[in-house]
């Protein structure tokens, strides 16, 4: 049994002001409080484990309904707590929310290693809600896994989709993002984030056991066995894993930083650090050309930073948020 650890935040009022024109039925603002607990090193909200290191459960802002502008061609998605919604934005055109996808939550990925996805993106919301969308919000395909709680997703350059499992540490790879998928056992007790590099190698992070803290693993292209990878620096808590065009990056949720690694064999050598100053806890980050988006469960919001320069945010999104866990970006 997992033992109870520390908790930094508790109690919340959740506001849901949903745009009914943007997919799904409208949802009224909720007054239900979120309960947060820690089991070992893992945060749970209302009894469900989440991939955030910490969550600010203070009262959330309310915003008026916003009608999306159909002329825009790029979209950013801030994906909130499981079973809630994803908030849609059109930065750099603006920083205000322009739409909503209802009844989702968790993390996102798309059909490029980094940058804006080409017309489609995925949201991993639940065991039977691994859904591909056509921008801005049209569902076009749904996959599922047999057991557990999907926690992450990543696509390689060939179109394979990898889905991590927070419940048991497994990774399921769907060839050509179709079918029932192949299950790969990992050394992890819980898988948090994953990402491919430009050679088709898959990397993931999570925890070996509830108190182990960060562990990085890798599955070499063509292999069937994950190996543990040693990083040259200490990482506090598992965060996003993504190729940035040159290095494999890992976001450290407790340090508010992204580490850029050169990986050879089972060793990851730190090549640079990107500071995300002013963020509270970037649960998932998504890198596009010159920028990185942060789904910030610590501030209950979302920020945009220069990449790889980092530093203070160049933009802060305004909209409806409830424990942001994921983010992804795609273009029409």
pLDDT band for 57, please (50, 70, 90 cuts): low
Token pair recorded at residue 252: 């450290």
Question: What residue segments make up the domains of the chain, in order of their start?
Answer: 71-331
Per-residue model confidence as pLDDT tens digits over 138-184: 999 999 998 899 999 999 999 999 999 999 999 999 999 999 999 99
User: Beta strands 130-134 and 138-143: pairing type?
Assistant: antiparallel
pLDDT band for 316, please (50, 70, 90 cuts): very high
CATH homologous superfamily for the domain 71-331? TolB, C-terminal domain (2.120.10.30)
Token pair recorded at residue 129: 């809600």
**Averaged over 97-110, what is the pLDDT?**
96
What pLDDT, on a 0 to 100 scale, did the predictor assign at position 61? Answer: 45
pLDDT band for 42, please (50, 70, 90 cuts): low
Q: How far apart are CA 126 and CA 75, in angstroms?
A: 23
What would you report as the CA-atom Rg of the chain, rounded to the nearest whole angstrom? 18
pLDDT over 90 for what percent of the chain? Answer: 74
Q: 């970006």: which residue's tokens?
A: 329
User: Beta strands 190-196 and 282-288: pairing type?
Assistant: unpaired
Q: What is the DSSP letter of 34?
A: P
Q: 């690694």: which residue's tokens?
A: 261
- CB 203 within 8 Å of CB 197: yes
* Cα 247 → chain centroid: 19
Number of Cβ within 10 Å of residue 309's Cβ equals 12
> Given CA atoms 114, 118, 123, 127 in this order, what sign does their dihedral have?
negative
- pLDDT value at 135 more than 50: yes
- pLDDT value at 20 more than 80: no
Residue of 296, 238, 331 lying closest to 79 (CA atoms):
296
Question: Helix H segments across the chain?
Answer: none
What pLDDT, on a 0 to 100 scale, did the predictor assign at position 263? Answer: 98
Dihedral pair phi/psi, residue 266, rounded to 5°: -110, 25
What pLDDT, on a 0 to 100 scale, did the predictor assign at position 211? Answer: 75
Q: What is the DSSP letter of 135?
A: T
Q: Which of 6-20, 86-100, 178-192 is predicted least confidently?
A: 6-20
Dihedral pair phi/psi, residue 41, rounded to 5°: -100, 5
Q: How far apart are CA 47 and CA 34, in angstroms?
A: 10
What pLDDT, on a 0 to 100 scale, did the predictor assign at position 47? Answer: 66
pLDDT band for 55, please (50, 70, 90 cuts): low
- pLDDT value at 25 more than 70: no
Q: Which of 66-70, 96-100, 140-144, 309-313 is predicted least confidently?
A: 66-70
- pLDDT value at 293 more than 60: yes
- pLDDT value at 54 more than 90: no
Rounded to two decimals, the pTM is 0.83
Could you tell me which residues are beta bridge partners of residue 38?
43
User: Beta strands 267-275 and 257-264: pairing type?
Assistant: antiparallel
């Amino acid at each position: 049994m997992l033992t109870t650890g520390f908790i930094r935040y508790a109690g919340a009022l959740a506001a849901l002001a949903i745009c009914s024109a943007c997919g799904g039925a409208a949802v009224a603002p909720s007054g239900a409080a979120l309960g947060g607990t820690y089991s070992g090193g893992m945060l749970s909200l209302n009894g469900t484990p989440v991939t955030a290191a910490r969550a600010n459960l203070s009262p959330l802002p309310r915003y008026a309904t916003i009608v999306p502008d159909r002329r825009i061609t790029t979209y950013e998605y801030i994906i909130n707590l499981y079973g809630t919604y994803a908030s849609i934005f059109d930065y750099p055109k603006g920083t205000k929310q322009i739409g909503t996808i209802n009844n989702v939550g968790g993390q996102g990925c798309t059909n490029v290693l980094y940058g804006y996805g080409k017309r489609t993106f995925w949201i991993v919301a639940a065991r039977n809600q691994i859904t591909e969308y056509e921008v801005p919000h049209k569902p076009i395909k749904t996959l599922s896994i047999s057991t557990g709680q999907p926690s992450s997703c990543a696509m390689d350059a060939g179109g394979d989709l990898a889905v991590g499992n927070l419940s048991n540490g497994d990774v399921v790879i769907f060839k050509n993002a179709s079918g029932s998928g192949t299950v790969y056992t990992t050394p992890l007790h819980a898988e948090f984030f994953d990402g491919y590099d430009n050679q088709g190698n898959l990397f993931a992070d999570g925890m070996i056991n509830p108190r182990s803290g960060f562990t990085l693993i890798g599955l070499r292209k063509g292999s069937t066995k994950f190996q543990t990878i040693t990083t040259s620096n200490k990482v506090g808590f598992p965060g996003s894993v993504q190729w940035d065009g040159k290095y494999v990056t890992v976001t450290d949720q407790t340090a508010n930083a992204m580490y850029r690694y050169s990986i050879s064999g089972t060793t990851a050598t730190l090549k640079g650090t990107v500071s995300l100053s002013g963020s509270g806890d970037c649960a998932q980050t998504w890198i596009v050309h010159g920028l990185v988006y942060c789904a910030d469960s610590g501030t209950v919001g979302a920020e945009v930073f220069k990449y790889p320069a980092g530093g203070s945010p160049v933009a802060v999104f305004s909209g409806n948020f409830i424990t942001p866990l994921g983010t992804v970006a795609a273009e029409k």
